[in-house]
Amino acid sequence: MKIFRFSLILFLTIIISSVLCSFYIRDNLSFYNIYLKNIESIDKNIEMAKKEYALLKSDFYTKKDMLQRFINKEHINEIEKNILLIENAIINNELTECQNLSIETQCLITQIIDYTTAID
Protein backbone atom coordinates (compact mmCIF):
# COMPACT_ATOMS: atom_id res chain seq x y z
CA MET A 1 0.00 0.00 0.00
CA LYS A 2 2.96 2.28 0.69
CA ILE A 3 4.11 1.92 -2.89
CA PHE A 4 0.57 2.53 -4.14
CA ARG A 5 0.34 5.77 -2.17
CA PHE A 6 3.74 6.81 -3.45
CA SER A 7 2.82 6.12 -7.08
CA LEU A 8 -0.56 7.82 -6.68
CA ILE A 9 1.12 10.96 -5.33
CA LEU A 10 3.71 10.78 -8.11
CA PHE A 11 1.01 10.30 -10.75
CA LEU A 12 -1.07 13.24 -9.51
CA THR A 13 2.04 15.40 -9.26
CA ILE A 14 2.96 14.57 -12.85
CA ILE A 15 -0.55 15.28 -14.15
CA ILE A 16 -0.92 18.56 -12.25
CA SER A 17 2.59 19.78 -13.04
CA SER A 18 2.24 18.90 -16.73
CA VAL A 19 -1.02 20.89 -16.91
CA LEU A 20 0.69 23.81 -15.15
CA CYS A 21 3.69 23.54 -17.46
CA SER A 22 1.43 23.61 -20.51
CA PHE A 23 -0.23 26.78 -19.25
CA TYR A 24 3.15 28.31 -18.43
CA ILE A 25 4.51 27.61 -21.91
CA ARG A 26 1.36 28.76 -23.66
CA ASP A 27 1.06 31.96 -21.63
CA ASN A 28 4.68 32.94 -22.08
CA LEU A 29 4.84 32.18 -25.76
CA SER A 30 1.50 33.91 -26.36
CA PHE A 31 2.97 36.94 -24.62
CA TYR A 32 5.76 37.08 -27.20
CA ASN A 33 3.14 36.87 -29.90
CA ILE A 34 1.46 39.99 -28.50
CA TYR A 35 4.77 41.92 -28.69
CA LEU A 36 5.36 40.64 -32.19
CA LYS A 37 1.84 41.61 -33.26
CA ASN A 38 2.53 45.12 -31.98
CA ILE A 39 5.78 45.28 -33.92
CA GLU A 40 3.98 44.00 -37.01
CA SER A 41 1.19 46.59 -36.77
CA ILE A 42 3.47 49.60 -36.32
CA ASP A 43 3.48 51.50 -39.63
CA LYS A 44 6.38 53.79 -40.45
CA ASN A 45 7.19 54.33 -36.77
CA ILE A 46 10.49 52.75 -36.11
CA GLU A 47 10.77 54.24 -32.61
CA MET A 48 7.63 52.44 -31.46
CA ALA A 49 8.94 49.26 -33.00
CA LYS A 50 12.21 49.70 -31.09
CA LYS A 51 10.32 50.09 -27.81
CA GLU A 52 8.24 46.98 -28.38
CA TYR A 53 11.32 45.10 -29.48
CA ALA A 54 13.26 46.09 -26.31
CA LEU A 55 10.42 44.73 -24.17
CA LEU A 56 10.25 41.52 -26.20
CA LYS A 57 14.01 40.99 -26.01
CA SER A 58 14.33 41.57 -22.27
CA ASP A 59 11.34 39.32 -21.55
CA PHE A 60 12.68 36.58 -23.81
CA TYR A 61 16.14 36.54 -22.25
CA THR A 62 14.71 36.59 -18.73
CA LYS A 63 12.64 33.47 -19.37
CA LYS A 64 14.86 31.72 -21.92
CA ASP A 65 16.53 29.37 -19.42
CA MET A 66 13.25 28.39 -17.85
CA LEU A 67 11.59 27.75 -21.23
CA GLN A 68 14.51 25.58 -22.31
CA ARG A 69 13.56 23.14 -19.58
CA PHE A 70 10.22 22.48 -21.23
CA ILE A 71 10.73 23.21 -24.92
CA ASN A 72 13.14 21.76 -27.45
CA LYS A 73 16.29 23.93 -27.46
CA GLU A 74 16.19 24.09 -31.26
CA HIS A 75 12.82 25.83 -31.11
CA ILE A 76 14.15 28.35 -28.58
CA ASN A 77 17.20 28.94 -30.78
CA GLU A 78 14.94 29.57 -33.78
CA ILE A 79 12.94 32.15 -31.84
CA GLU A 80 16.20 33.75 -30.64
CA LYS A 81 17.54 33.87 -34.19
CA ASN A 82 14.38 35.58 -35.41
CA ILE A 83 14.48 38.07 -32.54
CA LEU A 84 18.06 38.99 -33.47
CA LEU A 85 17.07 39.33 -37.13
CA ILE A 86 14.27 41.70 -36.10
CA GLU A 87 16.86 43.71 -34.15
CA ASN A 88 19.04 43.86 -37.22
CA ALA A 89 16.10 45.04 -39.35
CA ILE A 90 15.26 47.76 -36.79
CA ILE A 91 18.89 48.98 -36.70
CA ASN A 92 18.88 49.21 -40.50
CA ASN A 93 15.47 50.97 -40.50
CA GLU A 94 13.94 48.18 -42.59
CA LEU A 95 10.39 48.27 -41.21
CA THR A 96 8.92 45.97 -43.88
CA GLU A 97 11.57 43.35 -43.20
CA CYS A 98 10.90 43.79 -39.48
CA GLN A 99 7.17 43.22 -40.02
CA ASN A 100 7.81 40.14 -42.16
CA LEU A 101 10.09 38.68 -39.53
CA SER A 102 7.48 39.37 -36.84
CA ILE A 103 4.88 37.45 -38.81
CA GLU A 104 7.32 34.61 -39.36
CA THR A 105 8.16 34.44 -35.65
CA GLN A 106 4.49 34.49 -34.71
CA CYS A 107 3.89 31.50 -36.99
CA LEU A 108 6.83 29.73 -35.40
CA ILE A 109 5.59 30.42 -31.89
CA THR A 110 2.06 29.27 -32.73
CA GLN A 111 3.57 26.07 -34.11
CA ILE A 112 5.61 25.51 -30.94
CA ILE A 113 2.52 26.12 -28.79
CA ASP A 114 0.73 23.49 -30.86
CA TYR A 115 3.59 21.01 -30.46
CA THR A 116 3.90 21.43 -26.73
CA THR A 117 0.38 22.01 -25.49
CA ALA A 118 -2.06 20.55 -28.00
CA ILE A 119 -3.64 17.17 -27.29
CA ASP A 120 -3.92 15.28 -30.57
Which parts of this chain interact with another protein (CB under 8 A)? 3-4, 6-8, 10-11, 14, 18, 68-74
DSSP notation for 41-66: H--S-HHHHHHHHHHHHHHHHHHHHH
What is the maximum alpha-carbon separation in the chain?
68
In the complex, what is the shortest distance from the CB of residue 17 to another protein, in angstroms, rounded to a whole number? 8
Distance CA 111, CA 75 (A): 10
In the complex, what is the shortest distance from the CB of residue 21 to another protein, in angstroms, rounded to a whole number? 8
Measured from the CB atom, the residue of 2 and 44 that comes closer to another protein is 2
In the complex, what is the shortest distance from the CB of residue 9 to another protein, in angstroms, rounded to a whole number? 9
